[in-house]
Chain A
Amino acid sequence: DVKVTQSSRYLVKRTGEKVFLECVQDMDHENMFWYRQDPGLGLRLIYFSYDVKMKEKGDIPEGYSVSREKKERFSLILESASTNQTSMYVCGTGDYEQYFGPGTRLTVT
């Protein structure tokens, strides 16, 4: 049973703060993904990684960066949080079938 965990379920940050969201998977998958989920917009891909230290931009990478130092861990970084980054952030892993984490609801005030 694949387990995908995220560091926080809820997070409140102030505008301009640096924010770290972490995702850990226990199934040795090479691929990991970060999505943003907003009502009426579905899941939109921010960044993905095919291997350690490898990353590629998704559809909405602006304002975000990522880090993958270990195979099981994929971090999403908001360098300077803004109110329009208030959203649900969902991590995924897998090949054709993707397994998702529980999501982090981030509020930027």
Chain B
Amino acid sequence: GENVEQHPSTLSVQEGDSAVIKCTYSDSASNYFPWYKQELGKRPQLIIDIRSNVGEKKDQRIAVTLNKTAKHFSLHITETQPEDSAVYFCAASPPNDYKLSFGAGTTVTVRA
């Protein structure tokens, strides 16, 4: 099955700086890569996703990049704010399948 590795496990950044989280996946057939954000005590919510036919996608301060050859994808958060503090999960899904394999999560802390 799919194996998704996520790094780092914790990340502390100064408010206004950028944060980058990286994930690698094992199944070269995977073609859908979402990112979920889970605030303390709340349920995970989708913040951005990318499909394998695209190399980069942006939504305001967040962006995701995908390198299919290297089988890795990254989440970039620019101009971080205190409300960006949360646990972020990457995931991967094979074609024609809605099952998600999640990474272990990254706890992001934005220091004021």
A residues bordering B, Cβ < 8 Å?
Answer: 4, 31, 33, 40-45, 48, 58-59, 90, 94-98, 100-103
If the complex has contacts A59-B1, A96-B49, A102-B43, are A43 and B89 also in contact, measured as CB distance less than 8 A?
Answer: yes
| A45: min CB distance to chain B, Å | 6
**Which residues on B sit within 8 Å (CB–CB) of A103?**
43
| Cα(A97)–Cα(B105), bound, Å | 18
**Number of residues from B at the complex interface, CB < 8 A:** 21
- Interchain CB contact under 8 A, B98 and A94: yes
| Cα(A4)–Cα(B99), bound, Å | 18
| Cα(A61)–Cα(B100), bound, Å | 15
Partner of B100, one of A4, A45, A101: A45
**Which residues on B sit within 8 Å (CB–CB) of A43?**
44, 89, 100, 102
